[in-house]
Amino acid sequence: MAAERNRHREVHLGMGLALVAGWLVVATGCGGGVSGGVSLTQQYRNALQEVNPDTRARQLVQIAVKQETAGDMSGAETSLVAAAEAGKEVTDPMARASALNQVAYAQGKMGMLAESRAVLKEVGQTVPQIESDEARAAALGLMAVTQGRFLDNQTAAAAHLKEAEHLADGAADAESRVTILLDLAQNWGRLGDDNEAERLVQRAQDVAQEGQTARKRCDALASVAAALARMDKTELADQAFDQSLQAAREISEDVSQAHALADLALQMINANRKPRAAEVLKEAEAVAETITDQGLQKEVVDKIFSRQGSL
């Protein structure tokens, strides 16, 4: 069950990041439709030969972004149509929804509104087949972003986000609920509704403090703090980091505590709280010194050293 949950989280994260990553891909040397020495036309042909439809769909979306950057809108549209067809071939519902959501987002951003709506319809038919609450909520959230930002359908966007929030209510554990709520808060923020985003972050914080192990409570509160920091809620973020640190100090097993402190420090570093992170890493070092198993101690020390390199 743990392995399956982790797989769901990895795909869930990929679903959120894929949309961002797709727009961060830029053509290097795109003049004349050439990227990295290979023409975009050839890249398109190569992608069509990819056997795995999930990989093919994602490659085609990236190529479409490069084509748009190069001013070839006709080529970009052709690539996205092919990407949609590839996405429909993906057999796993979770992966299919992820791939198609990426296509629909790209089409919406490029003004292919009718095509984007059609692909979102496919996503909507796929979502009920997804077993994981987290992945189903993620799919609904990304549908909402495309509808709200590009298709001018705020009603449908809000409905999908509310449906996803209901999935959080029914999630099996607090960790899953926190993950869903923070993802939804981010999506509300992308749609410009800061009030809903703040409400969901507060909900996530409340859930994070429920009856979990100290380690899970530490990790969940650190995630909440990071989300608050991204929203520029400085005081609230600092409070959540304090709560996460307190939970870390309640962990009784030294190896787990040292890892928790090092992971918390990384969240602080990413939230631009490096002096605070340095203090937490010193605390992690002190805990690491008490670990008697040399192999486990080395693993923790290496992690701490890696975090210190980011200060």
pLDDT tens track for 35-51: 557 899 999 999 999 99
Residue 177 above 70 pLDDT?
Answer: yes
pLDDT, residue 249, reads 96
Question: pLDDT confidence of 33, banded at 50, 70, 90?
Answer: low
End-to-end CA distance of the chain: 36
Bridge partners (DSSP) of residue 35 are 38
pLDDT tens track for 64-91: 999 999 999 999 999 999 999 999 999 9
Residues in Cβ contact with 42 at an 8 Å cutoff, skipping those fewer than 6 apart = none
pLDDT tens track for 265-310: 999 999 999 999 999 999 999 999 999 999 999 999 999 999 999 9
- Between the alpha carbon of residue 147 and those of residues 54, 157, 298, the distances in Å are 23, 6, 49
Q: Give the predicted TM-score (pTM) of the model.
A: 0.75
The larger pLDDT score, comparing residue 170 to residue 295, is at: 295
> d(Cα 93, Cα 130) in Å, to the nearest integer?
6
User: Domain 1-164 maps to which CATH number in 3.40.1350, 2.60.40, 1.10.3470, 1.25.40?
Assistant: 1.25.40
Closest CA to 66 of 37, 33, 114: 33
Task: Name the residue ranges covered by the structural domains of the chain.
Answer: 1-164, 211-311
* CB of 144 closer than 8 Å to CB of 161: yes
pLDDT, residue 28, reads 35
> d(Cα 134, Cα 289) in Å, to the nearest integer?
38
Cα torsion 49, 54, 55, 56: sign: positive
* Segment among 120-129, 153-162, 163-172, 220-229 with least mean pLDDT: 163-172
